[in-house]
C-alpha cells in the first residue's frame, strides 16, 4: 500500500505506523537526507589499485555495489586487471582458485577509474572506459582542493601536510 493511499485513511495509517500523519511527515523529512547519504555510501566503494587483493572481489560479492571507484588502475596486478576486464565485459565475476572460489553477477554496477599512465593498461581494458584527460592543478587550485580535503585543519597546516607528502 502506498503512502498516498494510506494517508487518506488516518486511522489505518496510525495502526500501521503508530504515528499520526503529521508526525510521520516530520520524521520522514528529518531522516530523508541522512537516508540518501547512507544509501550512497552503502552502494559505492573506493579501492586503491596499488593495494588490490581478492578482498575487492569479496566486497563486490557481499555488498552488491552499484558504483565502484578504482584509483591507480594502471597499478593493478595483471591477473586482477584480467578479472576486471572479464567483469566489465560480462557483468559477471568468476574466480576459481585454491583459496578463493566465486561466481556472481552485478547487473547495474558502474566502474570509474583513474590512471596516471594509460599506456600501462591493455587495449581491451582501455576500451571499456571513457577517457578523460585532466590538466594538472595550478598551485591555487591545489590549495583549494587541499583545504576541502583536510577541512579540520587550518589552510596553512593543510598546505604543510600536502607539501610534506608531495614536495609541491
* Per-residue CA distances from 112 to 3, 9, 75, 140 (Å): 36, 46, 15, 26
Range of the domain at 150: 136-168
Question: Can you tell me whether residue 94 is helix, strand or coil?
Answer: strand
Question: Can you tell me whether residue 146 is helix, strand or coil?
Answer: helix
Domain identity same for 120 and 52: yes
Look at residue 1 and tell me whether its pLDDT is greater than 80: no
Q: What are the pLDDT digits (tens) for 135-148? A: 888 888 888 877 77
Cα torsion 82, 87, 88, 91 to 10°: value is 170
Domain identity same for 52 and 24: no
Domain identity same for 36 and 86: no
Domain identity same for 119 and 98: yes
Instruction: Note whether residue 131 is domain-resident.
Output: no
Its pTM stands at 0.58
Mean pLDDT of the chain: 79
pLDDT score for 165: 52
Domain identity same for 75 and 20: no
pLDDT score for 128: 93
More confident residue, 17 or 115: 115
pLDDT score for 127: 94
> H/E element holding 82?
helix 78-90
Q: What are the pLDDT digits (tens) for 57-114? A: 777 777 777 888 888 899 888 888 888 898 889 888 887 777 778 888 888 888 899 9
Amino acid at each position: 500500500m502506498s503512502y498516498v493511499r494510506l494517508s487518506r485513511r488516518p486511522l489505518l495509517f496510525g495502526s500501521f505506523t503508530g504515528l499520526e500523519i503529521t508526525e510521520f511527515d516530520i520524521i520522514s523529512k528529518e531522516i530523508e537526507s541522512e537516508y540518501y547519504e547512507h544509501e550512497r555510501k552503502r552502494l559505492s566503494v573506493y579501492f586503491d589499485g596499488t593495494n588490490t587483493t581478492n578482498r575487492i572481489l569479496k566486497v563486490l560479492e557481499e555488498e552488491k555495489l552499484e558504483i565502484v571507484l578504482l584509483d591507480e588502475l594502471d597499478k593493478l596486478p595483471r591477473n586482477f586487471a584480467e578479472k576486471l576486464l572479464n567483469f566489465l565485459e560480462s557483468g559477471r565475476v568468476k574466480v576459481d582458485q585454491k583459496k578463493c572460489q566465486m561466481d556472481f553477477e552485478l547487473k547495474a554496477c558502474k566502474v570509474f577509474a583513474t590512471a596516471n599512465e594509460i599506456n600501462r593498461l591493455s587495449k581491451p581494458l582501455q576500451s571499456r572506459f571513457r577517457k578523460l584527460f585532466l590538466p594538472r592543478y595550478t598551485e591555487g587550485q591545489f590549495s583549494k582542493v587541499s583545504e576541502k580535503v583536510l577541512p579540520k585543519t587550518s589552510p596553512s597546516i593543510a598546505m604543510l601536510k600536502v607539501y610534506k607528502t608531495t614536495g609541491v
